[in-house]
């Protein structure tokens, strides 16, 4: 309930509420300011109790709360309840408002209808909904869950619609770079923005939208982000998908939880791994992995597993701290892919499980620190900044701008932008 010191008056047809103070009238229990003191009406008290300080009440959720508040009050007769509800809706909204609301919630409408007819239809829907709920709670003879499931399925059928690939703007998921046709139907979410259709990995998209309001393909502001989030959540719940945790909270209670998140982020970069392989690593193993990684990454502007990290590492906290730093390294791994390669290679030099599953191109690289340092120098001699390449490749793939970006490279026999990071890494090793 809203504060008694604020005027409860609401303007007719404007979805606006008076916010003036009314301290001088509190003794008389009048919740109206000096300007509106003469405009006493029962409907303002009902709206204040139902919706508090909410300004815009043109939505079915708030309207149902108003209806429920009236019908839960046993002081009124049924006729009085209906009269009050219709009076409130008629006061708050004009014909266009009611027409638009009814259309939105799939109540049959027609411009030939009068305003009173539309309100009556709205009243019938809310009345049926209210008493179905009451009867279900009391008699237990109506399965409300079946009704809810029916409507959820109806909604999901709309958002599960399979579009022809010709009208979908993208062919790759912007987060995993997987072909959209390779993403499971139950995890492939389609949304529309500026009359263009996009397809994404639902779990990754939900995680992205927690801190972003832009289209991941165009960086344009999503004009209908509330609806996109709403139907995305329905999609996720209906398909029983498990959303990603807020990884930077690191609310782990067991090593398995920590390593599960680690495995996820490493696999996003394209390296197969297994939680059991990490569990096999001892404290000394992890120290050796880190030392090898630091040696190999000296010339690559490495900022991970630094001195501060090592000073805080001990045999009691090493699993969680190690996991956090791996995630920090791999979460934006495409921006520093070479560092990720060094780390995976370091794991392979210590763990037989990782070694047996290393990519063949990574196995071909000389294990010695000196060789890797020379390798790094050769990369710089070729003026191929790996980080920049990754970002360039990603932009070219997602925006289909290969031709524009290659206009100045007519003499190249090989279009470097067509190579993925793994292939590039392997080819450059062969060159060296």
Residues 259 and 385 in one domain: yes
Residues 264 and 328 in one domain: yes
Cα Rg of the chain (Å, integer): 31
Residues 42 and 174 in one domain: no
Residues 185 and 312 in one domain: no
Res 266: pLDDT: 87
Res 289: pLDDT: 92
Q: How far apart are CA 68 and CA 146, in angstroms?
A: 22
Residues 44 and 62 in one domain: no
Res 414: pLDDT: 40
Res 283: pLDDT: 92
Task: Tell me which of 142, 163, 186 is where a domain ends.
Answer: 142
Does residue 104 lie in a domain region? yes
Tell me the pTM: 0.37
Res 376: pLDDT: 39
Does residue 186 lie in a domain region? yes
Task: Tell me which of 84, 108, 142 is where a domain ends.
Answer: 142
> Helices in 105-242 by DSSP H: which ranges?
115-138, 144-159, 202-209, 225-238
Does residue 308 lie in a domain region? yes
Q: Per the structure, how many domains does the chain have?
A: 4
Q: How far apart are CA 333 and CA 387, in angstroms?
A: 9
Does residue 148 lie in a domain region? no
Res 325: pLDDT: 92
Q: How far apart are CA 222 and CA 213, in angstroms?
A: 6
Does residue 147 lie in a domain region? no
Res 134: pLDDT: 61
Res 136: pLDDT: 55
Res 101: pLDDT: 84
Q: Helix or strand or coil: residue 6?
A: strand
Residues 127 and 199 in one domain: no
Does residue 150 lie in a domain region? no
What is the dihedral angle through the alpha carbons of 131, 132, 135, 137, rounded to the nearest 10 degrees? -110
Written as six digits, the tokens of 320 are 């969680």
Burial 352-363 (b: 16+ CB within 10 A, else e): ebbeebbbebbe
Does residue 44 lie in a domain region? yes
Name the maximum alpha-carbon separation found in the chain.
90
Task: Tell me which of 108, 142, 176 is where a domain ends.
Answer: 142
Residues 92 and 67 in one domain: yes
Stretches in the chain below the pLDDT threshold 50: 1-3, 139-142, 366-394, 397, 400-423, 425-426, 429-430, 432
Residues 67 and 30 in one domain: no
Does residue 149 lie in a domain region? no
User: Dihedral sign, CA of 108, 109, 112, 115?
Assistant: positive
Which domain does 222 fall in, by range? 155-238
Residues 211 and 308 in one domain: no
Among residues 322, 300, 316, 310, the alpha carbon closest in space to that of 425 is found at 300
Res 368: pLDDT: 44
In whole angstroms, what separates CA 370 from the centre of its chain?
44
How many other C-beta atoms lie within 10 A of the C-beta of residue 323?
22
Res 426: pLDDT: 46
Residues 349 and 262 in one domain: yes
Residues 295 and 427 in one domain: yes
Residues 234 and 258 in one domain: no
Q: How far apart are CA 256 and CA 265, in angstroms?
A: 14
């Amino acid at each position: 309930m809203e504060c008694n010191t604020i005027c409860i008056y609401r303007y007719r047809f404007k979805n606006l509420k008076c916010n003036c103070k009314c301290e001088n009238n509190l003794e008389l229990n009048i919740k109206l300011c000096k300007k509106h003191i003469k405009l006493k009406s029962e409907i303002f008290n009902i709206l204040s109790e139902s919706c508090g300080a909410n300004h815009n009440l043109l939505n079915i959720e708030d309207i149902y709360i108003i209806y429920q508040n009236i019908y839960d009050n046993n002081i009124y007769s049924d006729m009085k309840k209906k009269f009050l509800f219709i009076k409130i809706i008629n006061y708050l909204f004009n014909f266009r408002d009611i027409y638009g609301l009814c259309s939105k919630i799939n109540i049959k409408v027609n411009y030939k209808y009068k305003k009173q007819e539309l309100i009556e239809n709205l009243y019938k829907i809310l009345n049926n909904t209210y008493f179905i709920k009451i009867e279900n709670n009391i008699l237990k003879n109506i399965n409300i869950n079946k009704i809810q499931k029916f409507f959820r399925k109806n909604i999901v059928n709309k958002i599960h619609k399979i579009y022809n690939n010709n009208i979908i703007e993208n062919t790759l998921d912007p987060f995993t770079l997987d072909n959209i046709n390779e993403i499971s139907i139950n995890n492939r979410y389609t949304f529309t923005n500026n009359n263009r259709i996009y397809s994404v990995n639902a779990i990754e998209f939900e995680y992205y939208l927690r801190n972003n309001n832009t289209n991941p393909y165009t960086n344009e502001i999503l004009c209908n982000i509330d609806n996109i989030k709403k139907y995305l959540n329905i999609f996720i719940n209906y398909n029983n998908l498990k959303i990603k945790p807020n990884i930077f909270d690191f609310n782990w209670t067991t090593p398995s939880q920590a390593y599960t998140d680690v495995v996820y982020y490493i696999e996003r970069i394209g390296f197969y791994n297994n939680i059991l392989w990490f569990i096999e690593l001892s404290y000394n193993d992890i120290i050796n992995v880190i030392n090898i990684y630091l040696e190999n990454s000296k010339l690559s502007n490495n900022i991970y597993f630094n001195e501060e990290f090592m000073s805080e590492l001990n045999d009691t906290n090493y699993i969680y701290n190690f996991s956090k730093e791996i995630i920090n390294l791999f979460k934006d791994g495409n921006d520093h892919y070479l560092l990720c390669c060094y780390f995976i290679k370091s794991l392979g030099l210590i763990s037989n499980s990782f070694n047996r599953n290393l990519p063949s191109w990574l196995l071909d690289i000389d294990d010695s620190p000196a060789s890797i340092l020379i390798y790094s120098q050769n990369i710089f001699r070729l003026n191929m900044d790996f980080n920049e390449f990754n970002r360039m490749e990603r932009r070219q793939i997602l925006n289909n701008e290969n031709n524009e970006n290659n206009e100045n490279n007519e003499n190249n026999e090989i279009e470097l932008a067509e190579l993925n990071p793994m292939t590039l890494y392997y080819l450059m090793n062969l060159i060296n």
